[in-house]
């Protein structure tokens, strides 16, 4: 999962980024409204954390522009505790949730997890696909009740597939959501991780749709997982 943090307080921005990275997210950072607006308008994110009081362009304007331009990415706004009108303005501008400063970073993590889940149609933190389960709170994966040990890259890939199960996802989309803007992206790397995941999932669940990409299904495919387009 890939998120954007738009916060002009550099220490807070870096603290948030470090917490999200430790939780397994890929993070891009912006420190003013103009840069944040540009990234949110040109890069695909699973969620955005947006401060209201930004230099160059305030957060409300940034959010209004995104929504006007058709960007539906879930947005969590950060507001000052004594500025209740900012909360109202943010929600009216298209924010999905808000957190007031000062806050516990764990709360921001939990709210972003919830936004990502809901945007993909999942109501709880436990996402299931047949005998495969992902607990988004703990990042634990089990298969038929047994724990599955994954690397951080494998976990990010599986998490994205599980959030969007039964939908064909291209290698390009996976690459865009698994790596930050500065990463030297090579979609062939995705094939390597898909192969590793298939082995750890007993050759089930991940289906290759020729010419289109991959789809997570409820099991029953063989090791190749190949289906016609």
**Band of residue 180 on the pLDDT scale cut at 50, 70, 90:** confident
Reply yes or no on whether the pLDDT at 14 is more than 50: yes
Supply the pLDDT for residue 228: 42
Supply the pLDDT for residue 121: 87
* Phi, psi at 146, each rounded to 5°: -100, 140
Per-residue pLDDT tens over the stretch 122-176:
888 999 999 999 999 999 999 999 999 999 889 999 999 999 998 999 998 998 8
* Separation CA 174–CA 179 (nearest Å): 9
Supply the pLDDT for residue 220: 52
Domain extents for the chain? 2-119, 126-227
Per-residue pLDDT tens over the stretch 55-71:
999 999 999 999 999 99
Supply the pLDDT for residue 148: 96
Per-residue pLDDT tens over the stretch 68-100:
999 999 999 999 867 788 889 999 999 999 999
User: Which option is the CATH number for 2-119: 3.20.20.140, 1.20.140.10, 3.40.50.2300, 3.10.129.10?
Assistant: 3.40.50.2300
Per-residue pLDDT tens over the stretch 100-121:
999 999 999 999 999 999 998 8
The structure's pTM equals: 0.84
Reply yes or no on whether the pLDDT at 223 is more than 60: no
**Band of residue 229 on the pLDDT scale cut at 50, 70, 90:** very low
* Separation CA 141–CA 53 (nearest Å): 38
- Burial (Cβ within 10 Å: 0-12, 13-18, ≥19) of residue 112: buried
Topology at the third CATH level for domain 126-227? Arc Repressor Mutant, subunit A (1.10.10)
């Amino acid at each position: 999962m890939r998120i954007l943090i738009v916060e002009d307080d550099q220490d807070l921005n870096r603290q948030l980024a470090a917490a999200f990275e430790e939780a397994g997210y890929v993070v891009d950072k912006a420190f003013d409204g103009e840069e944040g607006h540009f990234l949110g308008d040109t890069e695909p994110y699973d969620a955005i954390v947006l401060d209201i009081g930004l230099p160059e362009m305030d957060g409300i304007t940034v959010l209004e522009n995104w929504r006007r331009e058709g960007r539906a990415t879930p947005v969590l706004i950060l507001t000052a505790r004594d500025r209740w009108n900012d909360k109202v303005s943010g929600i009216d501008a298209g924010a999905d949730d808000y957190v007031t400063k000062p806050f516990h970073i764990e709360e921001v993590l939990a709210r972003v997890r919830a936004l990502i889940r809901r945007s993909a149609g999942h109501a709880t933190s436990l996402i299931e696909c047949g005998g495969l389960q992902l607990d988004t709170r703990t990042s634990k994966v089990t298969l038929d009740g047994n724990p599955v040990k994954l690397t951080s890259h494998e976990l990010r890939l599986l998490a994205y597939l599980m959030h969007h199960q039964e939908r064909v996802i291209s290698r390009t989309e996976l690459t865009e959501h698994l790596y930050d803007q500065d990463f030297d992206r090579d979609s062939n790397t995705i094939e390597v991780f898909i192969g590793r995941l298939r082995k750890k999932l007993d050759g089930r669940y991940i289906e290759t749709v020729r010419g289109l990409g991959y789809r997570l299904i409820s099991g029953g495919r063989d090791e190749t997982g190949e289906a016609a387009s």
